[in-house]
Structure 1
Amino acid sequence: HVYKDLKDNNVYIIDGGSCNYGIESTVVKIYHEEDSTSENPHIKLLILRRGGVCETELNAFISEFKTSNKTMKITTECVEKKHFTEESHKMEAPGQFLRHYAPDLPSYMLAGQRLDGSEESQLPLEISKCVFLDFNKENIDLKSKVLLYLDLSEHGDYIEAISRVYDYLRISETQKEGEMVIIADLMNPSSTLDEGSSHKEHSSALADRLFRAVSGNS
């Protein structure tokens, strides 16, 4: 997606091949807690941006590290799911603005529901003019009704969804007849949407990107 976004600009792009996850790096702020001393250090790790290294993997590394550093206390914390930085403020980490990943079409995320016939009439425009981004075939019945139906992962694989998310957002905004992008609710996935899914430890990173793609709208 970097090449597609910048190919018309006078820039050089170093291509090191595909990365494992297709998403930006995890950004962690490291600092001493107030009760930290030189004899008994207390280190706090605050995850500012969820990325390729998930919280589970980070905690596993910390547990291994602490076995050889028994005097050091290390705690981890992650910013809230819907955390964002106002654009008038300085960012602590990249990708914190609410509209950071927003496509050039109005975008919304379903709020804890599937979109069936009863909700179609509540949309501010015809569903046939919408691009729908789904996950795990949760809303497969909409495929014939919307302008374009894309499933981030038909098999419910969060890593696969992460690898597709930027390309699918770009495809969405290039639809000439498209007037809106609707995304399945991945902030609060239903039991059916999450059924049989894999690599759930990366679900928060995907949800974070999509929350910013819709600018917090639902």
Structure 2
Amino acid sequence: MRCPLILRYPLRLIPKTMISPSFSPEPIQAQFQTKVLQVRKDSIIFGKNDLLPVITDKETEDNLNIAAAELVNTDNVVAFPTETVYGLGGSGLRDESVKAIYKAKNRPSDNPLIIHVSSIDQLKRKLLPEDVDIPIVYKDILERFWPGPLTILLPIYPGSPVSKLVTANQNTFAVRLPSHPVARALIAMSDTPLAAPSANASTRPSPTLASHVYHDLQGKLPYILDGGACEVGVESTVIDGLVKPPMILRPGGVSVEDIKLAGGEAWKDVILAKKTAGKLEPVRTPGMKYRHYSPTAKVVLFINCKDGVDAIHKYLQTENINSKETKIALLRSINFSTKDVIDSNIYLQRDLGSTGQQVSHNLFALLREVDELGVDLILAEGIDETDEGLAVMNRLSKAAIQVIDGIDI
């Protein structure tokens, strides 16, 4: 039986007392009675220069202590909310913890992870040599977007404590400082930089609710911190300022337009990396390789299709799909018909939202919702690839097995 430690100081002072689970290349089977622990983000307060939070709700503080102690005293992983999606966190400094992440998700080991820190102080103290600072190219961008949904690439220096399993043996590592109070408090209270991909089974849509995590990973982790719905709804933007011109490796919660504006002259010529890496090509950030964000049902993405009525009818006819026999879900966004029914036999319809921000927030939750209602086919309307739309379309195009372009109809 575990005895949770009630702590008001960084957990790095606690000795490691529990035996780590042995590593196997096979995904782990159910081995935990997964507990969902409630936490209130509004009870967690970080002052501007605070390294540890003030927590006004006892249940929240107790549950954060339980999860933090688990991260320090074992090599197990825990799930927690961030402003983007729920993360599956383990120490980014211990190989066994990183192995536990890969096993719980059944994630390919050459798909690198992002390290999450609670402060720039922790980043410098835990991950960088004493005489090394964050490259100046990131200075203005970090002042604007940290804490927040932005990840940067940093060099791996000689003697780096970052597990090679985090980086997939590459010479850079990805790091971000989340703004969600629960995530930041957990990392600060454990004083442990956390490797934390999205807390879903590999290839599935990312989780934006604790219930999504439980659905995918029940029995594969001891604790899920339930802090409510994630605000942004898609993962962080990943940028590489170590190359010229700088690159956006993955679009996400911070738009390209905002990167250029905040970054100034050094970022005015920023370029987008290609969406998907080749099978044998190493990648420096998650989301560039393998199938991602996909529900069980087949997803078809529609772009440039105006109100969508003609495009949907033509698609169903061309593919010889009988909407009376096939359960179809329609996810509408900005331009598709607002009529109550586009096709009288479509099983259900949902609105993704009328702005890029709303679509970003709702995307993964609605993909999961309609999938769990047992549909066979999901028809989704794309949006313009500006601002939040670039990240939305990056995810939708990877979830879809087919794209219908209205220009060709």
Q: Deviations over 1:27-80 (max 9, x none)?
A: 1122243xxxxxxxxxx32001111111111111112xx5xxxxx686311135
TM-score normalised to the size of structure 2? 0.41
Larger radius of gyration: 2
Structure 2 vs 1, CA of residues 9 and 216 (structure 1 numbering), >3 Å: closer, same or farther? farther
How well do the aligned residues superpose, as a CA RMSD in angstroms? 2.7
- Residue in 2 that maps onto 1:168: 366
AA aligned to 2:319 is L
Q: Displacement of 1:101 after TM fit?
A: 0.5
Q: Deviations over 1:141-187 (max 9, x none)?
A: 4264311111101xx211111111011110121123x2211111336
Question: Partner of 2:309: helix, strand, or coil?
Answer: coil
- Residue in 1 that maps onto 2:285: 93
Instruction: Map 1:169-188; keep pairs closer than 5 Å.
Output: 169-176=367-374, 178-186=375-383
- Residue in 1 that maps onto 2:111: none
Structure 2 vs 1, CA of residues 20 and 171 (structure 1 numbering), >3 Å: closer, same or farther? closer
Identical-pair percentage:
19
Q: Deviations over 1:106-140 (max 9, x none)?
A: 11112532233751422332234211111025133
Q: Displacement of 1:26 after TM fit?
A: 0.4
Structure 2 vs 1, CA of residues 86 and 145 (structure 1 numbering), >3 Å: closer, same or farther? farther
Contact 2:301/2:380, CA 8 A, preserved across alignment? yes
14-23 or 45-54: bigger deviation: 14-23
Instruction: Map 1:1-218; keep pairs closer than 5 Å.
Output: 1=207, 3-7=210-214, 8-11=218-221, 12-15=223-226, 19-33=230-244, 44-63=245-264, 66=265, 75-80=269-274, 83-86=275-278, 89-97=281-289, 99-113=291-305, 114-116=308-310, 118-119=313-314, 120-128=316-324, 129-136=327-334, 138-140=336-338, 141-142=341-342, 144-153=344-353, 156-176=354-374, 178-186=375-383, 200-215=386-401, 217-218=403-404
Structure 2 vs 1, CA of residues 121 and 170 (structure 1 numbering), >3 Å: closer, same or farther? same
In structure 2, stretches of 5+ residues that fail to align are: 1-206, 405-409
AA aligned to 1:6 is V
Contact 1:142/1:149, CA 8 A, preserved across alignment? no
Q: Displacement of 1:18 after TM fit?
A: 5.0
Count, aligned residues: 185
Query: Distance between the aligned counterparts of 1:205 and 1:27, measured in 2?
Result: 11
AA aligned to 1:173 is D
Contact 2:334/2:383, CA 8 A, preserved across alignment? no
- Residue in 2 that maps onto 1:40: none
Q: Displacement of 1:85 after TM fit?
A: 2.4
Higher relative contact order (CA 8 A, sep 6+): 1
- Residue in 2 that maps onto 1:38: none
Question: Partner of 2:263: helix, strand, or coil?
Answer: helix
Structure 2 vs 1, CA of residues 108 and 97 (structure 1 numbering), >3 Å: closer, same or farther? farther
Query: Distance between the aligned counterparts of 1:163 and 1:14, measured in 2?
Result: 20
